[in-house]
Structure 1
Amino acid sequence: MKSLRNLSVTLVLALILSACATPYDTEKSFWTFGKGFETVQIAPDSWQISFVGNTNTDRALTRKYVMLKSAEVCKQAGYRYFTFTNEQTNRDSIGQFGIGSSNSDILWGSSTYDKETSSVVEVTGFNSNTTDSGGRVYDVNYILSHVSTES
């Protein structure tokens, strides 16, 4: 009886947690099922930042997360401005899961699809606001004070 109660509590907690968007401070790992951030420095002034969110993380929230993470990374490296030299955001159906059984010629079952939003950007930091970057240049301090991780 006690194990049934523990199983029920675990199931309820799992359902509650799965109803939330992927939190901003999540690092991509096995334990987060591949969701969260991964940051790789690709040059002295450039980084590739990727974020994968769960079904409840939409494109707009993903974009805010990546913008804020880019500003944090550039500030930590001592840059006042940054630009995206490459950017790609997708919302894809993934993870089909199905259960079925066959009885004569009839197949009974069900399946589910999840949607996940992913974004990959290449960020380059600058010390001065330059127009030579070929793209929009963002002010690190402005982004940090005006972009929120709230959905």
Structure 2
Amino acid sequence: MKSIRNLWVCAGLALMLAACATPYDTEKQFWSFGKGFETVQIAPDGWQISFVGNTSTDRALARKYIMRKSAELCQQAGYPYFTFTREQTDRDSVGQFGIGDSSNSLLWGSSTIDKETSVVVEVTGLSSKPSNAASRVYDTNYILNHVNVED
């Protein structure tokens, strides 16, 4: 009986931890279970940014996170504008968590399928705003002043 109670306590703790969206300041590492940001500079004026969020992180929030992170990197490097040269957003089913018990030849339990939102972009910082850009050009300061990730 004690083992069933321990299973329920563990399941309850896991659900409480999974109930919140992945926070903005999370870096992808072992302790974040692969969730959060990973940033790689791929050129003097370019970065590849990836973000993976948990089940509670929807596409719109992940997109805001990427937009804000892009603006922060470009501002730190001295670029007043930036553009995305490549962008991919996915929402995938990634795993199943379940618990069960067998007593008197009866198996019962519960399980859930997790979904995670992932976004990968390549960002290029721009020193000036081109007059005839092939893709959308973002103003770094505007994004930093208007895209709030602390909801």
TM over 0.5: yes
Long gaps (5+) in structure 1: 1-6
Contact 1:83-1:133 within 8 A present in 2 as well:
no
In the alignment, structure 1 residue 91 sits paired with structure 2 residue 79: no
1:9 positional shift? 8.3
With over 3 angstroms needed to count, the CA separation of the structure-2 counterparts of 1:8 and 1:110, relative to structure 1, is: closer
Which aligned pairs between 1:1-150 and structure 2 lie closer than 5 A? 14-98=14-98, 110-131=110-131, 133-150=133-150
1:101 positional shift? 8.1
TM-score by length of 1: 0.82
**DSSP-derived class of the 2:65 partner:** helix
**DSSP-derived class of the 2:25 partner:** coil
Cα deviation, 1:83-132, whole Å, max 9, x if unaligned, reads: 00000000011112456789xxx986553210000000000000100145
Count of matched residue pairs: 142
Instruction: Give the residue type in structure 1 aligned to 2:121.
Output: V
With over 3 angstroms needed to count, the CA separation of the structure-2 counterparts of 1:39 and 1:30, relative to structure 1, is: same
Looking at structure 2, the residues matched to 111 and 131 of structure 1 have their Cα atoms a distance apart, in angstroms, of 54
1:49 positional shift? 0.2
With over 3 angstroms needed to count, the CA separation of the structure-2 counterparts of 1:92 and 1:27, relative to structure 1, is: same
1:139 positional shift? 0.2
Instruction: Give the residue type in structure 2 aligned to 1:18.
Output: A
Contact 1:70-1:123 within 8 A present in 2 as well:
yes
Percent identity, please: 74
Instruction: Give the residue type in structure 1 aligned to 2:70.
Output: S
TM-score by length of 2: 0.82
**DSSP-derived class of the 2:90 partner:** strand
Looking at structure 1, the residues matched to 11 and 88 of structure 2 have their Cα atoms a distance apart, in angstroms, of 35
**DSSP-derived class of the 2:145 partner:** helix
Contact 1:36-1:51 within 8 A present in 2 as well:
yes
**DSSP-derived class of the 1:122 partner:** strand
Looking at structure 2, the residues matched to 109 and 144 of structure 1 have their Cα atoms a distance apart, in angstroms, of 46
Cα deviation, 1:11-57, whole Å, max 9, x if unaligned, reads: 76554332110000000000000000000000110000000000000
